[in-house]
Amino acid sequence: MSTLATGRPNIIITGGAGFLGSNLAGDMVKTSNIICIDNFITGNQKNIDILLQNPYFEFLRHDITRPLDFDQFPELKKFQIKAQGIQSIYNFACPTSPSNHAKLALEILEANSSGTKNMLDLAKEYHAVFVHISSQHIYGKAMSSQPIKESYLGAVDPIGPRSAYDEGKRFAETIASYYKRQFNLNVKIARLFTCYGPKMAINDGRSIPDFIFDALNNKDLIIYGDEKTENTFCYVADIVDALIKIEKSSLAGAVNIGHYEKYTLKNIAERIIKLCESSSVITYKEPDWHVASYNIPDISLAKEELGWFPMVDIEDGLLRTIEYMRSNLRIYQI
């Protein structure tokens, strides 16, 4: 086991048992040693069960709001961290489900503040690339229907019921940018727009997994809005591809990652009902407080600097997601 780590970079993924983190880990473990960190506040061990059997993957149950001491985890000896160091840190750790924005507000704020700082300090110690996973919600409500560029400063409510998430993500970008300027740390910020795919929690307040869950159970699909309410949806494999490209790039600053094509939620719901062969019907309700306004990303920078472009079309992505969620319905129902 002492030679296991040879030739492979050591990669930390915080929030690694969540939807996005576990998908990234599953891809990167093919070529890297993965140190997955999660405290299971919202992460799901089922997302990483198959990875736990891989000798190049180790899971640490740890809260990143506390400093991380590798000596407390003897299972990491095989990765030879003292000799090889840490090459990259992907910082996902933060509850993201809209249904948790009020319930876990303090945990969200702590993850984005002290948690992000602890991981930045670790990146500073090991001269690691730090990829911070941010969100479209740092922009708040768009002032126009035009795609949003990275230069838009945003319009966020600092005291609203979902402010812990929106402002927390803004603060995390601020502290990461400070470390870049003050310590010349190699920091990159990925502003993710709406994404979906396998391992996404079912029935958690986001449209596609909620639609699929209800369609598989022949229940009404509820749209919080009207027939014209629309959004963009980027499949998780495209997100993973973008994040890996960001880590390897010379990009400085933040970059939008998402799909450029808009769909009405009515169109998405109809597609899901058809693909699930469901008897569900679509109903409409006034948006709850946790339903954010969704923006359309301008992904010109990602195309130019990363050579990245979303490749999975909506029909294929929905079909893959439905097949996965159908086979794991009992496991992922919450």
The residues assigned a catalytic role are 165
| Helix then strand then coil, % of the chain, to nearest 5 | 40, 20, 40
**Residue for token pair 């929106």:** 166
Tokens in use for 8?
Answer: 């492979």
Q: Give the end-to-end CA distance of the chain in Å, rounded to a whole number.
A: 38
Please count the residues of the chain. Answer: 334
Q: Residue 113 half-sphere exposure, CB side, CA atoms within 13 Å?
A: 11
Cα separations (Å) of 159 from 140, 149, 167, 168?
Answer: 13, 25, 9, 12
Q: Using CA atoms in the order 33, 37, 43, 48, what is the torsion angle rounded to 10 degrees?
A: 30
From 79, 64, 67, select the one nearest 33 (Cα to Cα). Answer: 79
Alpha-carbon gap, residue 118 to 110, rounded angstroms? 11
Alpha-carbon gap, residue 93 to 269, rounded angstroms? 30
Give the three-state DSSP class for 233: coil
From 237, 252, 257, select the one nearest 192 (Cα to Cα). Answer: 257
Angle between helices 207-216 and 265-275 (to 10 degrees): 30
